[in-house]
């Protein structure tokens, strides 16, 4: 009875409604008055198993992971992420972990493909002080692994030569010295795929020459006869469509063949570079990798794709990256290292969601509008950085408040209310 009373008491303290119907596994565990086991992965091959109840939140799991991994003294902040091979998102701090596990179970039943398997991952979230991370700490491994994720996704602007060096350093850190018997991972786990495809970009085909205008019939000659509509049209169309399809198939085969050739050439260069790293320890390889990555001025920021950008001064552009970092928000052309514009947090008066797919930042006397599908993610991360910065400045109680239907007020200026909720909560990191 004491266990039941304790369970009910803890559950009542957290009035957040469950998002999913409890799974059969959860019901069985509850009937046996036991706790569930939850596997939390972290960058690299590591994972931890934690006992959770039906009302354990993401914030609680993060605190326990910080204790287990000895990261409580870190100046950086961490979060739980739900992820599969192609997608990830930070988990809100008050989210019930049992709901996430039930959703994973439901998704896995619908999508049994191994690439679609879901998991919880504990990762660096706000990189506030990369220099303070000890090279011997597990946090340094987090930084290395998450940096490599950015490289493979094509989110670290660097020349091809540097990217090949990074791939070789990755092999040295993971496998050690080159050996003909060492299993080599596929290229897409070492090198950004878009760089391979970029080698195959062909100049746009010139438009076909215009046919000469039909000469009018000579005087006295009967006009040329036309076949009745539909008489041969079907036969001609079928023949043309078949020829076009055959040509496309042949073109695709040639393209795939060239992709394989380019990938093999790049892999060969990487392996040669790897051979030259013989004797490098894992620690040396990781340090050399991060030294090259830090050459980019935006190192440590999180990049979000922006479909369209316009400012009140008339500047506009398409297909950009919005980089959210510890000190500023910056705009980059995709693949370019230099920022188009950068806005330190001290200049940002307000930020928020202005409609279903538009994010608005007011910096000084400028209004900046970004069209993106990552509204919640951008909002969460900016909230987290502002909260962390204020805590570090000794203003821990004066955190950014989050309410539905209003913008987030950062300084003297705030966005007008919108009927759409701007954000539900901060991600799962204690700040």
**What structural domains does the chain harbor?**
2-127 (3.10.20.90), 158-197+264-293 (1.20.80.10), 302-409 (2.30.29.30)
Residue 314 or residue 305, greater confidence = 305
Rounded mean pLDDT, 267-275: 97
Can you tell me the mean pLDDT for 98-120? 83
Q: What is the pLDDT of residue 21?
A: 76
Share of the chain above pLDDT 70, in %: 78
Mean of the pLDDT values across residues 140-158?
Answer: 96
Q: What's the pLDDT at 15?
A: 55
Residue 369: both structure tokens together = 């509008």
The rounded distance, in Å, linking the Cα atoms of 428 and 80 is 6
- pLDDT (0 to 100) of residue 140: 98
Query: What pLDDT does residue 108 have?
Result: 82
Which DSSP string corresponds to 180-197? TTSPPPPGGGTS-HHHHH
Highest mean pLDDT: which range of 17-31, 175-189, 204-218, 386-400: 175-189
What are the helix (H) ranges across 335-401? 375-392
Mean per-residue pLDDT, 252-261 = 88
For residue 415, what pLDDT is reported? 39
Is residue 131 within 8 Å of residue 236, measured between CB atoms?
Answer: no
Buried b (16+ CB within 10 A) or exposed e, 96-131: bbbbbbbebeeeeeeeeeeeeebbbbbbbbbbbebe
Q: How confident is the model at residue 235 (pLDDT cuts 50, 70, 90)?
A: low
Task: Give CA 182 to chain center in angstroms.
Answer: 30
Of the pLDDT bands very low, low, confident and very high (cuts 50, 70, 90), residue 324 is: very high
Residue 355 token pair: 């409609």
Q: Which residue has the higher pLDDT, 17 or 93?
A: 93
More confident of the two residues 186 and 8: 186
Q: Which of 358-362, 378-382, 395-399 has the lowest mean pLDDT?
A: 395-399
Strand partners, 80: 122
Say if residue 220 is exposed, middle or buried (CB neighbours under 10 Å; 0-12, 13-18, 19+). Answer: exposed
**Helices 138-152, 282-293: crossing angle, 10 deg rounding:** 50
**Does residue 202 surpass a pLDDT of 80?**
no
- Predicted confidence band at 285 (pLDDT cuts at 50, 70, 90)? very high
Confidence of residue 283 (pLDDT cuts 50, 70, 90): very high
Q: Rounded to two decimals, what is the model's pTM?
A: 0.79
**pLDDT value of position 27:** 80
Q: What is the pLDDT of residues 163-184, one digit of tens each?
A: 999 999 999 999 999 999 988 9
Q: Which two tokens stand for residue 129?
A: 């002080």
Higher pLDDT pick, 244 / 75: 75
pLDDT of amino acid 244: 80
Q: What integer is the mean pLDDT of 262-269?
A: 95
């Amino acid at each position: 009875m004491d266990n039941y009373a304790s369970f009910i008491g803890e559950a009542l303290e957290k009035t957040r409604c469950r998002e999913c119907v409890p799974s059969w596994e959860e019901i069985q565990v509850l009937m046996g008055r036991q706790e569930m086991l939850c596997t939390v992965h972290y960058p690299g091959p590591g994972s931890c198993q934690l006992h959770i109840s039906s009302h354990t939140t993401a914030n609680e799991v993060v605190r326990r992971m910080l204790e287990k991994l000895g990261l409580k003294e870190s100046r950086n902040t961490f979060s739980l992420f739900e992820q599969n091979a192609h997608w990830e998102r930070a988990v809100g701090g008050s989210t019930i972990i049992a709901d996430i596990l039930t959703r994973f179970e439901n998704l896995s039943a619908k999508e049994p493909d191994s690439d679609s398997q879901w998991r919880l991952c504990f990762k660096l979230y706000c990189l506030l002080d990369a220099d303070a991370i000890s090279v011997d700490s597990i946090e340094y491994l987090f930084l290395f692994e998450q940096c490599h994720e950015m490289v493979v996704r094509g989110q670290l602007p660097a020349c091809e030569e540097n990217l090949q060096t990074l791939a070789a350093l990755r092999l040295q850190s993971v496998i050690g010295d080159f050996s003909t018997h060492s299993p080599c991972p596929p290229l897409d786990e070492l090198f950004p795929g878009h760089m391979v495809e970029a080698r195959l970009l062909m100049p746009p085909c010139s438009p076909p020459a215009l046919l000469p205008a039909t000469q009018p019939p000579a005087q006295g000659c009967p006009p040329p006869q036309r076949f009745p509509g539909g008489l041969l049209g079907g036969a001609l169309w079928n023949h043309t469509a078949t020829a076009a399809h055959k040509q496309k198939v042949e073109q695709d085969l040639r393209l795939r063949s060239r992709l394989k050739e380019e990938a093999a050439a790049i892999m060969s260069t990487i392996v040669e570079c790897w051979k030259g790293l013989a004797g490098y320890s894992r620690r040396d390889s990781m340090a050399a990798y991060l030294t090259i990555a830090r050459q980019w001025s935006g190192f440590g920021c999180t990049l979000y794709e922006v479909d369209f950008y316009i400012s009140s001064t008339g500047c506009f552009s398409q297909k950009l990256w919005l980089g959210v970092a510890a000190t500023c928000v910056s705009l980059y052309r995709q693949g370019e290292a230099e920022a188009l514009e950068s806005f330190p947090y001290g200049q940002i008066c307000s930020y928020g969601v202005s409609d279903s797919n538009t994010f608005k930042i007011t910096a000084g006397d400028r209004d900046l509008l970004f069209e993106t599908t990552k509204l919640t993610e951008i909002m969460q991360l900016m909230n987290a950085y502002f909260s962390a910065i204020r805590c570090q400045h000794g203003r821990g109680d004066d955190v950014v408040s989050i309410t539905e239907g209003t913008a987030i007020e950062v300084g003297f200026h705030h966005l007008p209310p919108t009927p759409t909720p701007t954000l539900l909560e901060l991600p799962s990191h204690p700040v």
